[in-house]
Amino acid sequence: QQPVQSPQAVILREGEDAVINCSSSKALYSVHWYRQKHGEAPVFLMILLKGGEQKGHDKISASFNEKKQQSSLYLTASQLSYSGTYFCGTEIAGTSYDKVIFGPGTSLSVIP
Amino acid sequence: SAVISQKPSRDICQRGTSLTIQCQVDSQVTMMFWYRQQPGQSLTLIATANQGSEATYESGFVIDKFPISRPNLTFSTLTVSNMSPEDSSIYLCSAGTSGREQYFGPGTRLTVT
């Protein structure tokens, strides 16, 4: 039931772009994205509630393909501050409460 | 958004004892959750803390081991009972808002010796 994330890890130079993918074997109600820096709590980035929805957040955006049960997080023109572990979280369609199951995470390192 | 505080921030406990972790939210929220996270790992949901009723536990977690209270819409506690070294982990609480996003507390780092 845990979503799958890819890649496991990525190293970028400042200014480069990255895509992190999240897929589920179950039909989804929503997809969440969070970033966690070492020793800190996860921080909410965005939530996608509708199939095909795309959301933007400065140079970080995401899409949600409800049919394919997939979401992608796009980081453009990466900055050093983007380093951290990115988790997608999925809410399974048909469940009765706002339970989120988190993926294994993608470690992203941005170097100068 | 919501601001979450947790205490203690860390503790070292002896095997067989219990620890209660407190979680306070700065505003009323419908949903509160408790997670466990091993270093370098993902977040594992322990339970959903329901106000006025028993918590809803995930597979592999039981009330006798992890009793949870939720006396009102801003506060919850998680107790880790009869601890063993395998319980050493970071415990996080989160609050779910009406927009369904979750805001996390800073975590409690527990070491069981």
Model pLDDT for residues A37-54, shown as the tens digit of each residue? 999 999 999 999 866 677
Contacts of B60 (CB under 8 A, 6+ apart): none
For A53-91, what is each residue's pLDDT tens digit? 777 777 899 999 888 899 999 999 999 999 999 999 999
For residue A30, give the chain B residue with the closest CA. Answer: B100
Query: In the predicted model, what is the mean pLDDT of residues B60-79?
Result: 96
Interface contact B92-A41, CB threshold 8 A: yes
Q: Is the pLDDT of residue A101 over 90?
A: yes
pLDDT of the residue at A55: 72
What Å distances lie between residue A59 and A19, A55, A66, A76, B60, CA to CA?
12, 11, 23, 5, 39
The C-alpha atoms of residue A14 and residue A44 are separated, in whole angstroms, by 23
B-contacting residues of A 2-21, CB under 8 Å? 2
d(CA B7, CA A38): 19
Mean pLDDT, chain A, whole residue set: 91
What does the pLDDT average to over B3-28?
97
- In angstroms, how far is CA B55 from the centroid of its own chain? 11
Reported as a single tens digit per residue, the pLDDT across A3-40 is 999 999 999 999 999 999 999 999 888 999 999 999 99
Full 3-state SS string of B29-69? CCEEEEEEECCCCCEEEEEEECCCCCCEECCCCCCCCCCEE
Would the CB atoms of B42 and A105 count as touching at under 8 Å? yes
Nearest one of A3, A2, A20 to A84, comparing CA atoms: A20
Provide the terminal-to-terminal Cα distance of chain B, rounded to the nearest Å. Answer: 37
Cβ distance of B43 and A104 shorter than 8 Å: no
Q: Return the pLDDT at A84.
A: 97
A32 at B interface, C-beta within 8 A: yes
The answer for A57, left when phi > 0, alpha when psi is -120 to 50, beta otherwise, is: beta
Cβ neighbours of B45 in A, within 8 Å: 99-102
